[in-house]
Amino acid sequence: MDEKIIGLKKKFEDELEKIENLSDLESIRVAYLGKKGSVTDLLKGMKELSNEEKKEFGQKVNELKGAVADRIAEKTKELKEKEIEAEINLMPEFDLSMPASTERGSYHPITLVQRECERIFKSMGFTVEDYSEIVTDYECFESLNIPKHHPARDMQDTYYLENGQLLKSQTSAAQNAIYKKYRDALVNDGVPIKAIFPGRCFRNEATDACHENTFFQMEGVMVDKNISISNLIYFMKTMLSEVFQKDIKVRLRPGFFPFVEPGFELDISCLICGGEGCPSCKHSGWLELCPCGMIHPEVLKAGGIDPEEYTGFAFGLGLTRLVMMKYGIKDIRDLNGGSLKSLSQFTDDE
Ligand code: FA5
């Protein structure tokens, strides 16, 4: 029986020597130590032995089992180290002494204009709020006086998630949360709510020179006692003259949004064609830039604010369109195109 053990051990060592990868090593482990493996098989021949011999032979088989297991563990370690070494050899070499690239990136034109608007509004006492891109139906529509099946929803078809949430179609989706966040300070301490919230919006849109399916807006709200349309016009005018650093022709016309009453469309004379008409302004000479209005009493109520006591204005600036006008970009799609060559024309490396 001893020769059997010695023979099997030699056979195992010869086979182990030739193994070059972990999967072959696993096969040899099963062939020797598995339930039907050669080492386990040795025990089957013990029936003919005396009790004393059985004890001695069993002990030797167990020693063989342990030795085989140890050799497999050693080989596993060796093969794993070889695999890591091979991976390292495949990696490109890094020369840590090489000087860093001197080419610097630049900010996207939308980022630059957004920061400029933030600076202007902060200087007028507004806080800048951040808000999620994924919102609930309540935030985007119902809290804004747009119940289910309201026709105003047709203008803002967007992308829905399986859980019923949606990619926000307008920054107005943050209004309700902002009112709830600041109403205590308004009611208890008399601190007016003055906030802007820039953000990315999404709409299921047929794209053209002035429509994208992904674009930026910047919402602004102000709520206090005795806020009127004159306050709204003052802030809009200040913002536009600061952004453009020159006189801009604007027009205010009635506009319908269920969350403001009265509502307005604030258009600016197209700066691409000087008001003559071009594809960027749909040949009208005017570009819809910043709808606005006095916040609807139902919207204030949904935000926990008493509309009998407080009034406010809200606006939804089309930030991407503002960028087009500021830099004379004729096609809105260039802003999302990701071409560094064309974008770098409009930016400076800050
Ligand atoms: C709204 O989204 C309202 N939430 C704005 C608002 C806020 C009204 C507060 C009253 C009070 P509208 O769908 O018109 O409104 O979009 C506002 C601005 O976003 C537009 O004037 C335009 O400048 C910009 N905009 C809208 N859709 C697109 C689009 N597909 N691509 C690029 N800009 C767009």
pLDDT at 52: 86
Would the CB of 175 count as within 6 Å of ligand 1?
Answer: no
Residues 6 or more apart in contact with residue 105 via CB below 8 angstroms: 349
Helix axes 22-33, 2-18, angle to 10 degrees: 170
Pocket test for ligand 1, best of 117, 158, 229, 257 (most atoms within 8 A of CB): 257
Cβ-based neighbours of 61, under 8 Å, separated by 6 or more:
5, 39, 42, 43
From 144-148, 277-281, 342-346, the region with the lowest mean pLDDT: 342-346
H-only helix segments in 221-265: 229-244
Contact 265, 291 (CB under 8 A): yes
Task: Tell me the per-residue pLDDT of 119-130, one tens digit each, with 9 for 90 and over.
Answer: 999 999 999 999
CA of 318 to the centre of ligand 1 (A): 6
| Alpha-carbon gap, residue 184 to 195, rounded angstroms | 15
Q: Are 43 and 58 in contact (CB under 8 A)?
A: yes
pLDDT at 348: 60
Alpha carbon nearest to ligand 1 atom 19, residue: 318
pLDDT at site 5: 87
Q: Give the tens place of pLDDT for each residue, 287-319.
A: 889 999 999 999 999 999 999 999 999 999 999
Q: Which residue has the higher pLDDT, 239 or 145?
A: 145
| Nearest residue to 249 via CA among 223, 285, 220, 215 | 285
Q: 214, 142, 130: which is closest to 178 by C-alpha?
A: 130
Cα–ligand 1 centroid distance for 317 (angstroms): 7
Please state the rounded mean pLDDT for residues 273-287: 90
Q: Please give the average per-residue pLDDT across 267-295, as a whole number.
A: 91
* Burial of 192: CB neighbours in 10 Å, binned 0-12, 13-18, 19+: middle
Give the other-Cβ count within 10 Å of 254's Cβ. Answer: 9
Does residue 114 have its Cβ closer than 6 Å to ligand 1?
no
Query: What is residue 304's predicted lDDT score, i.e. its pLDDT?
Result: 97
**Token pair in block for residue 243:** 């952004």
pLDDT for the residue numbered 259: 97
Is pLDDT at 183 greater than 90 in this prediction?
A: yes
Q: Rounded mean pLDDT of the chain?
A: 91
Q: pTM of the prediction?
A: 0.72
Say yes or no: CB of residue 303 within 6 Å of ligand 1: no
| Cβ atoms of 320 and 108 closer than 8 Å | no
How many whole angstroms separate alpha carbon 87 and alpha carbon 350? 40
At residue 36, does pLDDT exceed 90? no
In this predicted model, what pLDDT tens digit does every residue of 10-31 receive, in sequence order?
999 999 999 999 999 999 999 9
Q: Residue 54 pairs with which residues in a beta bridge? A: none
CA distance 141 to 150: 9
Look at ligand 1, atom 12, and give the residue with the nearest C-alpha.
Answer: 291
- Whole-number Å distance between alpha carbons of 132 and 301: 22
Q: pLDDT band for position 1 (50/70/90)?
A: low
Q: Among 157, 215, 251, 336, which residue has the most ligand 1 atoms within 8 Å of its CB, making it the best to mutate?
A: 215
| Ligand 1 contacts CB of residue 217 (under 6 A) | yes
Report how far apart, in Å, the C-alpha atoms of 275 and of each of 147, 223, 253 are.
38, 34, 17
Q: Rounded to 5 degrees, what are φ and ψ at 295?
A: -60, 130
Which is more confident, 102 or 237?
237
Q: Are 39 and 68 in contact (CB under 8 A)?
A: yes
> Crossing angle, helix 109-123 and helix 319-327, to 10 degrees?
110
